[in-house]
Structure 1
Amino acid sequence: MSPTFSETLRAATMPSHEQANHSPYISALLGGELSVDAFGQLASQLYFVYSALEEAAEAMRDDPIAGKFVFAELNRREALREDMAYYFGPSWESQVSELPATAEYCKRIRSVSWSGEFVAHHYTRYLGDIAGGQIIRHRLRKLHGVEGPGSMFYVFDQIPSAPKFRDNYRTLLNEAPWNAQERKRVIIESVRAYELNVAVFAALATKFLTHTSTHGNSTTS
């Protein structure tokens, strides 16, 4: 039996997925090598990424293919706003800014106009958040005692069953009426999305891990 498209997509992006999961910044974060501020620095960059992605989702809502992937219960921007207030205080909007790698990531998201490219970015972010993101939520709670504000990005309380949601999402991928060439484009864009994500992690590592190694367990510059 031939693999489904969702299986093919998962297999094709697995190396990039693993590279993201084992990037130095994420490894240090989950390994307890960084202060709680490091989670805030990650959240600050994700805020810009999800703002771009959810703007794109709104623009694609009426697309006959992409629109099926637009779920209000996935939206992360408001949760991230709560987290920003936790980490940076009420004036957080004047304290956070995009790293160049994040700006490049957001620029790519905003440039997509075809359903398959949009879904590629949507898929690489949200399915990972629902699954692997829970590992970060657990570590944040265990390492730093943070629950509620500060970790709201990882709380999908409007999704009763994450496994069922992921299964439904994979069914949508399998049923999307893309031809073989279009499916290849989706895979290429998904890999690109992971690469852009890894670049953000690398930028965070360059800015904060270097400082940490010189000045102790701190992520502030």
Structure 2
Amino acid sequence: MPADTTAANGPADAGTPRFAARIREASWSRHQGLDPSAEETADRAPGVFDRLFDGSLTLDDYTRWHAQQYFVYEAIEAAAERFASDAVAGPFVFPELARLPAIEADLRFLMGPKWRSGIEPLPATRAYVDRINAACAEGPGGYIAHAYTRYLGDLSGGQAFGKAARRNYGFEGEGASFYEFTGIKSPKAFKEEYRARLDAVDLPEAGKVRVIEEILLAYDHNGAVLAALGEGLGRNPFEPKVIAAICHHMNHDHAADTLVICRGVGGYPGAETARMTGFDGDGADFAAVVDGAELPIRIDWAGPLSERAEVRPEIVRLFTESKASLENA
């Protein structure tokens, strides 16, 4: 969840609000756009947040949301390692904020030991991750912007998410451990310290403006991910743990067959390697390396599927048709 937002803003000269207040004011409208309780969003279709709070978000869709967050924090925390000793960004690298181990534990709990084989970033998530990487490559301000947006939000509105998840799904620890900051005794005091560091950050005015601009981009990317997730709510009949198990089986036990499928009915005869990345009731998703670049491949089933037992025969069909087409090419 993006960072909490309150307070006032003004031109960057003497007598105007401090940097943290300028950030909060500049991002207020973005925050309101993601808040399900905001009046201006009341007429839109219920999204992930709305359904989490009203108890109608299925555990499968909660898991899919959790999985997309994995990729975002993977990027932010890889950047944190690089900036830990940086004079400007280093003061914002807190080990107690790291979320990746908790997300991994949650996904293992929700999807089983093969969880990593069953998650893939949505296009919107990939774009978000690309933006994080690009911004952090520009300098410390990029890291500060994305870390602030995520972590202060997790310590604020994110706590309500954790409470709702525990209430809805009966979690006790794993499943919602992402929202637990065991190393932070007082979130309020921690956020005050964080904002004090923002006010004291050693950046020129132009650098501060760029941080604010990047925070707004982070909000927009987060909104795009939530919108993409919202479009898919309730549409996949297969549990994430089932998807993870089958993808892991195909990629580890039948890697050669997966490559044949992508080369055949997948339409990329020159594919060098391939992996299955997911599936739903309408088709399967793969990723194949072609000319050194990984490309997504979508292959439709012969008809709609809804049961796990139906998946294997369809994969066998895809392999058989692919093998025949390649042999006859």
- Normalised to the residue count of structure 2, the TM-score between the two structures is 0.63
Correspondence list, 1:2-21, <5 A = 2-21=16-35
CA distance in 2 between counterparts of 1:118 and 1:79 reads 21
Residue number among 209, 212, 218 corresponding to 1:184 in the alignment: 209
* 1:150 has 2:175 as partner: yes
* Unaligned 5+ runs, structure 1: none
CA distance in 2 between counterparts of 1:83 and 1:24 reads 22
Code of the residue aligned with 2:169 in structure 1: it is H
Aligned sequence identity (%): 37
Q: Give 1:181 shift.
A: 1.8
* 1:130 has 2:155 as partner: yes
Q: Write the deviation string for residues 71-121 of structure 1: whole angstroms up to 9, x where unpaired.
A: 000001000011001111111011111111111111111122311121010
Contact 1:208–1:219 at 8 Å: present in 2 too?
A: no
Q: Write the deviation string for residues 21-54 of structure 1: whole angstroms up to 9, x where unpaired.
A: 3372211222212212222111100111101100
Q: Write the deviation string for residues 125-164 of structure 1: whole angstroms up to 9, x where unpaired.
A: 0000011111011111112211211001000000111111
Q: What is the match of residue 277 of structure 2?
A: none
CA distance in 2 between counterparts of 1:30 and 1:100 reads 26
Q: Give 1:219 shift.
A: 8.0
Contact 1:34–1:219 at 8 Å: present in 2 too?
A: no
Q: Give 1:182 shift.
A: 1.6
Correspondence list, 1:165-204, <5 A = 165-204=190-229
User: Which 10-residue stretch deviates more, 117-126 or 10-19?
Assistant: 10-19
Residue number among 74, 77, 99 corresponding to 1:76 in the alignment: 99
Q: What is the match of residue 164 of structure 1?
A: 189
CA distance in 2 between counterparts of 1:17 and 1:56 reads 24
Name whichever structure is richer in helix by fraction: 1
**Cα RMSD (Å):** 1.8
Contact 2:68–2:121 at 8 Å: present in 1 too?
A: yes
Code of the residue aligned with 1:69 in structure 2: it is F
* 1:25 has 2:48 as partner: yes
CA distance in 2 between counterparts of 1:182 and 1:66 reads 12
Q: Please list every run of at least 4 consecutive aligned residues from structure 1 whose deviation after the TM superposition is greater than 6 angstroms.
A: none
Contact 2:141–2:211 at 8 Å: present in 1 too?
A: yes
Contact 1:35–1:219 at 8 Å: present in 2 too?
A: no
Residue number among 166, 171, 190 corresponding to 1:141 in the alignment: 166
Q: Write the deviation string for residues 148-191 of structure 1: whole angstroms up to 9, x where unpaired.
A: 11001000000111111000000010000222222111110000
* 1:89 has 2:112 as partner: yes
CA distance in 2 between counterparts of 1:140 and 1:16 reads 24
Q: What is the match of residue 108 of structure 1?
A: 131
Code of the residue aligned with 1:132 in structure 2: it is G
CA distance in 2 between counterparts of 1:162 and 1:5 reads 20
Greater CA radius of gyration, 1 or 2? 2
Q: What is the match of residue 60 of structure 2?
A: 37
Of structures 1 and 2, the one with the larger relative CO (CA 8 A, separation 6+) is 1
User: Which 10-residue stretch deviates more, 1-10 or 147-156?
Assistant: 1-10
CA distance in 1 between counterparts of 2:215 and 2:82 reads 19
